[in-house]
Chains A and B, each alone.
Chain A
Amino acid sequence: MDNFKNVEIKNDNNEIAKTKSLKNKNTRLMILALVLGVALVAFVVLYSISMSKQTELKIDLENIYQKNFNELVDNVNNSEIKLSKVLASDYNSYAKKMLNEISKNTSMASNNLSSLPVSINGIDETIKFINQVSGYTQSLANKMEKGESLSNEDIKTLTELKYAFDDLKNNINKLSKDIYSGNIYSESNKLDGDYNNFTIKLQNVKAGDVDYPTMIYDGPFSDSTLNKEIKNMSKTVVSKEIVLEKLQNIFKNVASSNFEFLGETNGKFKTYDYELLTSDNNSIYVQVTQNGAELLTMSCADGNNQENYTIDEAKEIAKNFTKLAGVDMMECVWSDIVSGDAYINLAPVKDNIILYPDLIKVKVDLNTGNVVGYEASSYFTNHTTRQLEKAQISKEVAESKVPKMYQRKETRLVLAPLDYNREVLCYETTCTKDGDTYYIYVNAISGLVENILKTVETDNGNLLL
């Protein structure tokens, strides 16, 4: 009997233990479910916050794109209207005002267009057209500023531009309804080959064909400026051996085993490119022209700011190096010291006239006295035998054109490269005002002030602005 009782108690105990473990299991599951539930809620909340932040940012970006697109449409429409007004005017002061405004409108249109998320090189022809119209209209306005009037050729070109602009205006207005719906951001994120969807849509916005030969003008974006011919280069193509010989002559302290041929440059200039390793393990990169073996550029990094050489010593070093490279009769015309390096500009002087277009730039490390940079592409592009005009006004007359508030220091005759590829004979007067240095350029033929440059001291050397 007792035994039976014992078995019963044992069974009861087992039951109780089983119930307890089941209860414990349930509690654990409930806690786990609760924890997972809370975690899920927390995750969903944070995720939706991040999503709404992302949506906000997308809207911000879309708004910026929309602003630029709207302004682009406005600027294109305004330019077209103003072009019509120029053609309807008597080509005098009102036309000049309109031409200035077209230049501004097209410049802003170019700015708007390049602020849109367009795949690189997708609409380069349209940007080029707008920029060239801006440059061209500005050059016509400048011409009228000097008292000249528009030629028949100018009016013919303006008429062609008006028709080309008509097409651009119609295309962009057609597209605008679709774009105004607010899908620039999403369309710019869908890639189709190299271009995104937005670029492909915008590619339909084209100007009509313009007879480009009539667009030849001397403006900042004119084809003549971009494709400037090289005036001073031998026709003879030399071998690498001759180039190496020339380099060894210039860099006498570099062992012949330390000249490494890197390859060729096949651009506007054709060069052989070498890396030279100096005895103090410095790497110098040089480019020598294949025509005539002229040293064109050299570049070398240097990191020491100490100055053991004076600027006058650096000028002599620069002059001697240029002579060694094969260009003689150069005078130092500008110098500046930046972080332990002297930047020295040298120019040829003919009949006491400084030829600024033919600059050679030399960088001298003031710590070691070594030349660490050389740039002669302007010299080889521009230097030629020029028939220089005779100055029509005297130095005294030129100086009298300088406003009285400037204190004059020095005046000299220079050939100045001015805007639109012009080389103009000028008197350059160095003067000061309120402690600042200015350079004033008076045209030596017409007596007009052509340009004023101000030297601005910056944390990284002087700038001429």
Chain B
Amino acid sequence: MKKRKIFLIICLVFAVCYGSAFSLLQVFSPTNAESVYVATSSENKQIQQKLKDLGYYYGSIDGILGSQSVTAIKNFQRDYGLVVDGIVGPNTLKALGLNNSSSYSSSDLYLLAKCVHAEARGEPYVGQVAVAAVILNRVKSPEFPNTIAGVIYQPWAFTAVNDGQINLEPNDTAYSAAKDALNGWDPSYGCLYYYNPATATSEWIWSRQTVVTIGNHVFAI
């Protein structure tokens, strides 16, 4: 009985020590942010649409590869002589005719969508377009860096970049908002700043001229 108690104490002490040390290592680890690649739901929708067109899938085009989609993928793979694993890899994509996207991937759009998602998910759609527009307005402004990456990764510029949320995979709404802003939509009309009045700690941000409030964000020039 006593031995068991001692054993338990030993286990507990080790667990606490390793736990705290491990969390210390985690905090200082540079790869703390989420970095696992997840296919975007728009890619999944394309796969579902293609399978539907070919008569393998009868469910809704929702971007979620559930059991119905997996069965459809397996049936497709069987018919096309591919490895039947229900996973859409490069060969299945090729057979579906979906790998013919060009070698030019719009990194600016992706980065902009990532920043919009990290900074403004949960905000109204137009608020997300306005956040993307502020980033593009900064690119055009002489007071900020001259590229999208330069503006987004400017030290101390965006909290969601500082805390690693920028590495979350953007959703379709963020993509759409980023695309609209790149196409010239700017509901803030040239604003260079935005802040959430409930959480903003900076003094000077309150001195900027407010242009419009959209959702929780105040947009200022």
Contacts of B189 in A (CB 8 A): 265, 267-269, 377
**Which of A24, A57, A458 is the most central at the interface, judged by chain B CB atoms within 10 Å of its CB?**
A458
Total residues of chain A contacting the partner, CB 8 A: 80
- Interchain CA distance A34-B95 in the complex, whole Å: 64
- The stretch among B66-74, B77-85, B98-106 that forms the contact with chain A is B98-106
Whether A263 contacts B176 in the complex (CB less than 8 A), given A285-B125, A375-B184, comes out as: no
Contacts of A302 in B (CB 8 A): 176
Q: Does B64 contact A (CB under 8 A)?
A: no
Can you name the residue of chain B whose Cβ is closest to the Cβ of A117? B155
Query: Do the beta carbons of A194 and B191 come within 8 Å of each other?
Result: no
Can you name the residue of chain B whose Cβ is closest to the Cβ of A41? B17
Contact of A373 among B145, B180, B188 (CB under 8 A): B180
Q: Does A180 contact B (CB under 8 A)?
A: no
Residues facing B in A252-273 (CB within 8 A) are 263-269, 273
- Interchain CA distance A220-B105 in the complex, whole Å: 26
Contacts of B2 in A (CB 8 A): 24, 28
**Distance in Å: Cβ of B71 to nearest Cβ of chain A:** 22
Q: Does B92 contact A (CB under 8 A)?
A: no
- Interchain CA distance A221-B183 in the complex, whole Å: 20
Contact of B24 among A47, A264, A373 (CB under 8 A): A47
Q: Does B126 contact A (CB under 8 A)?
A: yes
Residues facing A in B129-177 (CB within 8 A) are 129, 140-146, 150, 154-157, 172-173, 175-177
Query: Do the beta carbons of B185 and A361 come within 8 Å of each other?
Result: yes
**Which of B17, B150, B172, B179 is the most central at the interface, judged by chain A CB atoms within 10 Å of its CB?**
B17
**Distance in Å: Cβ of A267 to nearest Cβ of chain B:** 4
Can you name the residue of chain B whose Cβ is closest to the Cβ of A222? B142
Query: Do the beta carbons of A42 and B21 come within 8 Å of each other?
Result: yes
Contact of B204 among A32, A36, A194, A458 (CB under 8 A): A194
Q: Does B196 contact A (CB under 8 A)?
A: no
Can you name the residue of chain A whose Cβ is closest to the Cβ of B137? A226
Q: Does A297 contact B (CB under 8 A)?
A: yes
Can you name the residue of chain A whose Cβ is closest to the Cβ of B25? A50
Whether A458 contacts B212 in the complex (CB less than 8 A), given A268-B189, A373-B185, A377-B186, comes out as: no
Q: Does B58 contact A (CB under 8 A)?
A: no
Query: Do the beta carbons of B156 and A120 come within 8 Å of each other?
Result: yes
Q: Does B199 contact A (CB under 8 A)?
A: no
- Interchain CA distance A435-B22 in the complex, whole Å: 56
Contacts of A107 in B (CB 8 A): 146
- Interchain CA distance A302-B173 in the complex, whole Å: 8
Query: Do the beta carbons of A305 and B49 come within 8 Å of each other?
Result: yes
Query: Do the beta carbons of A456 and B102 come within 8 Å of each other?
Result: yes
- Interchain CA distance A316-B47 in the complex, whole Å: 30
Query: Do the beta carbons of B183 and A115 come within 8 Å of each other?
Result: no
**Distance in Å: Cβ of A453 to nearest Cβ of chain B:** 15
Residues facing B in A418-438 (CB within 8 A) are none
Q: Does A20 contact B (CB under 8 A)?
A: no
Q: Does A132 contact B (CB under 8 A)?
A: yes
Contacts of B61 in A (CB 8 A): 304-306
Can you name the residue of chain A whose Cβ is closest to the Cβ of B211? A267
Contacts of A24 in B (CB 8 A): 2
Whether A32 contacts B203 in the complex (CB less than 8 A), given A267-B190, A268-B190, A457-B102, comes out as: no
- Interchain CA distance A359-B183 in the complex, whole Å: 11
**Distance in Å: Cβ of A413 to nearest Cβ of chain B:** 23
Contact of A266 among B13, B125, B172, B210 (CB under 8 A): B210
Residues facing A in B184-221 (CB within 8 A) are 184-191, 202-204, 209-214, 221
Contacts of B101 in A (CB 8 A): 458-459
Query: Do the beta carbons of B125 and A46 come within 8 Å of each other?
Result: no
Q: Does A39 contact B (CB under 8 A)?
A: yes
Contacts of B175 in A (CB 8 A): 339, 460
Query: Do the beta carbons of A458 and B45 come within 8 Å of each other?
Result: no
Residues facing B in A281-305 (CB within 8 A) are 283, 285, 287, 297, 299-305
**Distance in Å: Cβ of B149 to nearest Cβ of chain A:** 11
Query: Do the beta carbons of B25 and A135 come within 8 Å of each other?
Result: no
Residues facing A in B1-32 (CB within 8 A) are 2, 6, 9-10, 13-14, 16-18, 20-22, 24-25, 27-30
4 shortest A-B CB distances, which residue pairs? A46-B21, A301-B125, A221-B142, A131-B142
Can you sample 13 A-B contacts with CB below 8 Å? A46-B25, A124-B143, A196-B156, A263-B213, A266-B210, A267-B212, A267-B221, A273-B212, A299-B185, A339-B175, A363-B180, A458-B102, A460-B109
Known: A118-B155, A375-B184, A378-B184. 17 other contacts (CB 8 A): A53-B25, A53-B29, A194-B203, A265-B187, A265-B189, A266-B210, A267-B221, A268-B189, A297-B185, A301-B173, A301-B177, A303-B173, A306-B61, A361-B185, A457-B104, A458-B102, A463-B104
